[in-house]
Amino acid sequence: MATNKHIVLTKDGLITKIAELTGEKRTVCGRVVDAYPQVIQEALLKNLPKKGEISAVGLPGLGTIGVKVVPETVRKNNFTGQNQTIPEHFMPTFKITKTLKVALNAELVKSAQAGGAKKAGKKTA
């Protein structure tokens, strides 16, 4: 699992970018950005799933944030060797949209091709 974080866009940067794109004041955009997580959380909490279901909120252009039920399981504790019961719980999920996935993969291909072109231009001794 990767431990390095690379924050590309901070909350302040997001507010600034939204203000630029919409022509709205930064204060208005800031209130919207502040309210956004609460709206999603409330929607998910009002529609908690039952076993085998997933409740989700669609974020157009990004993906779907959801919640699913993970059933009770018994696992072995690696330190003590004893069985440990993990109770039934909710698990957050996120599924990216196909459009965003295609766009990201296209950028990956472009960067790989650019890197390959630089390597091809290197002289060997």
Mean pLDDT of 99-117: 83
Model-level pTM? Answer: 0.65
C-alpha dihedral over 100, 106, 110, 112, to 10 degrees? 100
Check if the beta carbon of residue 105 is closer than 8 Å to that of residue 113. no
Q: Looking at the predicted structure, is the pLDDT value of residue 33 above 50?
A: yes
Q: Which two tokens stand for residue 22?
A: 């919409």
Query: What confidence category does residue 125 fall into, taking pLDDT thresholds of 50, 70 and 90?
Result: very low
Residues 45-99 have pLDDT tens digits of 898 888 888 889 999 989 999 999 999 999 998 899 899 999 999 999 999 999 9
Q: How do the domains of the chain map onto residue ranges?
A: 1-46
